[in-house]
Structures are given as structure tokens and as C-alpha cells.
Amino acid sequence: MIRGNSSPTSVPGESADRHVGDFFSPMASDDSPRPLKRFTSIPEQIELLRSRGLAISDEQHARAVLRRIGYFRFSGYAHSLKSRASPLDDSETFRRDASFDTIEGLIQFDEALRAAVLGGLEAIELAIRAAVSARIGHLDVEAHRNERLLDRKFTLIDPASGVSAYEAWRRRFDELCARSKEDFIEHHRRRYDGRLPVWAAMEVLDFGLLSRFVAGLQSRDRESIAKSFKVGHAGVLCSWLHMFNVIRNRAAHHARLWNRTTTKIPLLPSRDLHPNLSFLHDDKHARTRLFGALCCMQWMLKVISPQSAWHRQLKALMDSFPADGGLSPRSAGFPRDWQSLPLWCD
């Protein structure tokens, strides 16, 4: 039986919890601790890969790749090409057509995919910052410090922690300001005792703090910003920003993107309101994988910059996908005819 394409986290620091389709064996269902695997040298890693059926045509090159990226990261991509004799079989072997070159090609493809995703998210992040500043800046030049302009849920004190979500947000914001060496921060320290207008404050925020601030705005302001991006309602916008933040963090920390499950499944606007996104309602696999997030990105980028060529960049990149050894873009949620969907056409 061919294994599912989801695989263990390939970067230290990410969760290794069990998920549907992950590489953990059904035999390992108990919670008893196991000893950690022993350290292996690169020659031993090469031998292990070969013993499991992976074709390695150039051992010197394979050693150089493992020396450069590490066996742990390599194995995260390699799981997509493994199979089991049966669901209860705890042993792992590679498919007959699996090769080291195919896995290396997949790693290089994912590197380019991360760069494309980060480029698209940069444009979205800048547009959200500008939209927030424009919406609330005229209400108070320091609107980000005015609790009266924020949702009560955001400013309500949590009995367990003794602080509100907004207070936690503001502490993190102040930490970023204190550490910043940006020229505009230094200027405001000298001239305004460190106080920032909201349009400058937005430039300090990372994507996570920005998405939390948008979610913490009053309903009228959230709805207005959502309307400006034509996403339906504020709940959709906030869910998209949360999802984008997760994907951005993965990409920025060099984690695998191409066939990961989306931990934050996006809400969708109604079919009638946005027919170009209606196909996602019927394709749960696409919606819960990277393709669903890319569709949401493409929608926002078309609104932000109608002349954006990002979708053409992504289509060109997908044409280079290493479809060897049974690999398929469908593992990342891409339907077979995705390039002909109205959302992705010029």
C-alpha cells in the first residue's frame, strides 16, 4: 500500500504530533516512550537509504547533499516515496522508481515554492497594514493604544492570566519597538519620546501581531477592511490572515510546504458572492492543503494589484514540479485542471 504524502516535520522546533496520514506506524499506538535513534554518519545514512531501496547513482553527490541539508530534512521529503506491504507493517521501503535525484528535485522545488509564497504574502501584508492605518488612523493618531477603538473581547481581562489579549499584544509590540534599530523608530525616540502614530506602528508588526490586531478591531472596522478586499465578511478575512501567518512562518523557517496539511482551514465566502472560489467548497482536500491557501492568496492579490503576475509565476513553478516516482501536485491539493480555473486565468 502506498503511504500517504503527509510526512513528519522536517525542521527542528515544529510539532511532531500525530496527524492523519503522517508517517507514524499504526503499531506505535501506545504512549510508552521509546529510546531515541542513535546517531548515524553520512556513509551509514547512504547505506540505510540503499538498504530501503532508494536508487543512488552518484554517491559522492548524495554525500554532499546530506552534508549540506542534513539527513533529517532529507528524510522529511523522502517519506513521500515510501511504501508499506500492509497497514500493519512497521517496516519502510522505497517505491521501485524512487531515486535520490527525485527527492533532491523535490527539495529544490519546495525551496522555490517557499520563495514564491513569501513574495505573495509580502504584498498582502503591506496592503493589510495600509488598510488598517487608513481605517483607524483618522480616529486617533495612536489608535493602536486606544482601547476604546478595539473589540471588547480583545480588551477583556482573562481571569486565568490576569491580562487581556490586547495587553499581551501590546507587550509584544513594545518589545519589538525596544529592539528595533530602524531609522524611523530612532527618529520617533528622539523627537516624540518613542511614541508612534498608528501608520508607523503598523510597520513594526510581524504578520502574527498584525493578524491579531485586525481580529481585535471593532466589528465595524473589521467589516470595512474585509469589504475593501472583497472577501465577504470579517470572519473570512481573519481566518485567512491566521492561515497566511502559519504558512509564512513555515516558509520563513524553511519548513516543507508542498504537501503539508493546513492547520488553519480557511473560511470561505458564499458561492454566490464569489463564484471563482466556489470550487473550494466541493474539494475538501484542496481546501485543507496548500492549494486552498494559494487560492485565497491569489484572490487577495487580484484585488490588491489586478495586474499582478504572481499567478503566472506560480504556474511556471508548478510546471517544474518533479513528477517522478509517483509524486503528484494533488498531494498539495492541486486539482488536475487547476490552471484553467477562472481564478488562475489571465
Q: pLDDT band for position 7 (50/70/90)?
A: very low
Tell me how far apart the alpha carbons of residues 13 and 16 are, in angstroms, rounded to a whole number: 9
Listed in order, strand segments (DSSP E) in the chain are 82-83, 93-94
pLDDT for 66? 97
Q: Is it the case that residue 12 has pLDDT exceeding 60?
A: no
Which of 7, 5, 102, 109 is CA-nearest to residue 53?
Answer: 102
Three cell numbers written together for 275: 463564484
pLDDT for 8? 38
Q: pLDDT band for position 42 (50/70/90)?
A: very high
Residue range 308-326, pLDDT digits in tens = 999 999 999 999 999 877 8
Residue range 210-246, pLDDT digits in tens = 999 999 999 999 999 999 999 989 999 999 999 999 9
Taking CA 116 as the corner, what is the angle to CA 284 and CA 103, rounded to the nearest 5 degrees?
75
Backbone angle region of 138, left / alpha / beta, with phi > 0 → left and psi within -120 to 50 → alpha: alpha
Tell me how far apart the alpha carbons of residues 329 and 335 are, in angstroms, rounded to a whole number: 8
Q: pLDDT band for position 3 (50/70/90)?
A: very low
Tell me how far apart the alpha carbons of residues 167 and 157 are, in angstroms, rounded to a whole number: 9
Tracing cell 530612532 back to the chain, one arrives at: 186
Mean pLDDT of all residues in the chain? 88
Mean of pLDDT values over 337-346: 93
pLDDT for 2? 38
pLDDT for 85? 56
Say which range, 11-15, 81-85, 190-194, has the weakest mean pLDDT: 11-15
Mean of pLDDT values over 327-343: 93
pLDDT for 135? 97
Three cell numbers written together for 205: 508588526
Listed in order, strand segments (DSSP E) in 30-180 are 82-83, 93-94
Task: Determine the number of helices (DSSP H) and then strands (DSSP E) in the chain.
Answer: 15, 2
Q: pLDDT band for position 13 (50/70/90)?
A: very low
Residue 230 main-chain phi, psi, to 5 deg: 55, 45
Residue range 105-114, pLDDT digits in tens = 999 999 999 9
Which of 29, 78, 38 is CA-nearest to residue 327?
Answer: 78
Residue range 114-129, pLDDT digits in tens = 999 999 999 999 999 9
